[in-house]
Amino acid sequence: MQILGKMGSVGISLITTGILTRKLGVTGYGNFILIGSLFVLLDSLADFGTKTIGVREVSKDEDREVANHIFNLRLIMAAAAFGIGLALVWTWKGLVGIRWEATVAMLMIFLTSIAGFWEIIFQSKLRMDLKVVMDICFPAVFLVWLLFWQGGVNLLLVFGVYLLARLVSLAVGFNLVREVWKGKISKFDATRMKELWKITWPMGVFLLMYATYDRAIDSLLLQNFFGATQVAWYGLAYKMYGVLIQPAYFYVNSIFPMMSGKVVNKKELFGKSAGLLLAGAVVLVMGVYWLSPWMVGVLGGEAFGPSVAILRILAIGLFFSYIGHLVGFTLISQGGQKEMLKVGAAGLVFNLIFNLIFIPRYGMAAAAWVTVVTEALDTGMMTWLLLVRVKRI
């Protein structure tokens, strides 16, 4: 179920990208990527580690009320992220001309926060099949609209339909989550909020820093120095890179509850998983190098030809990203969220400095190479920190 669901969601994502690049054009798609990068940054603030840590805590099943308090904390953080997002949208000069489109996109923060809570329940109860149904519903509804809509398409309409599609998926998720969770939303408890905050803030800061250098810095700098065209070319290549990372995230996300529990032989699970992920990365890197012209041609057309070279550079990062996902989630399962914070800080500083130095000179190629080196740095640091923690245990 999970494999078929992931194949379906990846296929839907690629088809959607191919349609949007043609309907919006290079400049329109560049603005779409720019708003999307800002949303990812704010969505990381809204999540603030509550999903990852929430799965770990609910999987332990030591406190049946913890899920209720996590829901309350997620809503508080979503409101804070939305407020910050509105301030950025209406003051940042880079969004002049697309402020209303960005404002509509920011509304998605609340819906994504609720969807993330449903995912916590599904994942902690090992009902990934139900999670897949909800996950695939969202992009499927949007794709159906794209395929059958006969009128013109602009960014405001695109983000408006995104909101409606997410509402449909939330309704589906609500019906599914009632099958595995009978809890009720608790009243606000300041003491429990403080306790949760103490264990989630290191992971939250890490995710925020990671989103900053993974999705925001390069796009914002490219927009500032080269305009929406290079953002679009780089954004298409990065979109495909993000899709190629999904199998690793999907696999590690599936075994995370087992890594957090007390039953499975974790050393054996880690070893087999590392071999599987490394083999998958090798196959993908080789395949992307040869197929990148065809991939870009299908998804973007001739106007996105410069994305080919960028995709080939980013593909090298798959080696580090695949192993990094496994090492990072394993470190979190062992209570190493504060160690992850150190990784995020180092990655952010490195990425920011080198992007500021090289992007103004070399453009999107520099952004791609800095991304690859940052992935290698993060993976190396997480591996070392995990080894130190295991020795302590």
Question: Does the pLDDT at position 182 exceed 80?
Answer: no
Considering only residues 307 and 269, tell me which one the structure prediction assigns the higher pLDDT: 307
Please check the confidence at residue 12 and state whether its pLDDT lies above 80: yes
State the pTM of this model. 0.74
Using the CB atoms, write b or e for 289-311: b if 16+ within 10 Å. eeebeebbeebbeebbebbbbbb
The residue ranges of every structural domain in the chain are 2-392
Question: Residue 392 above 80 pLDDT?
Answer: no
**215-224, 311-320, 351-360: least confident range:** 215-224
pLDDT above 70: residue 146: yes
User: How large is the average pLDDT for residues 243-251?
Assistant: 84
What is residue 263's predicted lDDT score, i.e. its pLDDT?
56
| Segment 280-285 mean pLDDT | 91
- Looking at per-residue pLDDT, the higher value among 26 and 57 belongs to 26
Q: Quick one: pLDDT at residue 14?
A: 85
Task: For residue 184, name the pLDDT band (cuts at 50, 70, 90).
Answer: low
pLDDT band of 302, cuts 50, 70, 90: confident
Query: What's the one-letter identity of residue 270?
Result: F
Residue 9: pLDDT over 60: yes
- Average pLDDT of the segment spanning 35-58: 83
What's the mean pLDDT when you consider all of the chain? Answer: 85
pLDDT tens-digit readout, 102-127: 999 999 999 999 998 888 888 777 78
Least confident of 50-64, 67-81, 202-216, 246-260: 50-64
pLDDT at 183: 63
Which pLDDT value is given to residue 121? 83
pLDDT of 275 above 60: yes
pLDDT at 202 over 80: no
| pLDDT in the model for residue 97 | 86
User: Greatest CA separation found in the chain?
Assistant: 62
DSSP code at position 93: G
Q: Distance between CA 30 and CA 50 in Å, rounded? A: 31
Exposure string over 65-86, b if 16+ CB within 10 A, otherwise e:
ebbbbbbbbbbbbbeebbebbb
pLDDT of res. 282: 92
**What per-residue confidence (pLDDT) applies to 261?**
61
Res 143 pLDDT > 90:
yes
Host H or E run for residue 7: helix 2-47
- The Cα–Cα gap between 218 and 363 comes to 9
Reported as a single tens digit per residue, the pLDDT across 357-390 is 999 999 999 999 999 999 999 999 999 988 887 7
| Token pair listed for 284 | 């993908």
Give yes or no for residue 272 having a pLDDT over 70: yes
Q: Report pLDDT for 260.
A: 66
Average pLDDT over residues 1-24: 84
Residue 305: phi and psi, rounded to 5, are -55, -40
The reported pLDDT for the residue numbered 118 is 87
- Sign, CA torsion 256/349/29/312: negative
Contacts 24+ apart (CB under 8 A), 62-69: 64/183, 65/183, 65/186, 65/192, 66/196, 67/117, 67/120, 67/121, 67/124, 67/181, 67/183, 68/183, 68/184, 68/185, 68/186, 69/186, 69/189, 69/192, 69/193, 69/196
What pLDDT does 264 receive? 59
**What backbone phi and psi angles, to 5 degrees, belong to 184?**
-120, 150
Predicted confidence at residue 16, as pLDDT, reads 92
Q: What per-residue confidence (pLDDT) applies to 60?
A: 66
pLDDT (mean) for 304-311: 94
Average pLDDT over residues 236-256: 85
What span, in angstroms and rounded, lies between the C-alpha atoms of 32 and 231? 9
Q: How far apart are CA 225 and CA 228, in angstroms?
A: 10
User: What does the pLDDT read at residue 372?
Assistant: 94
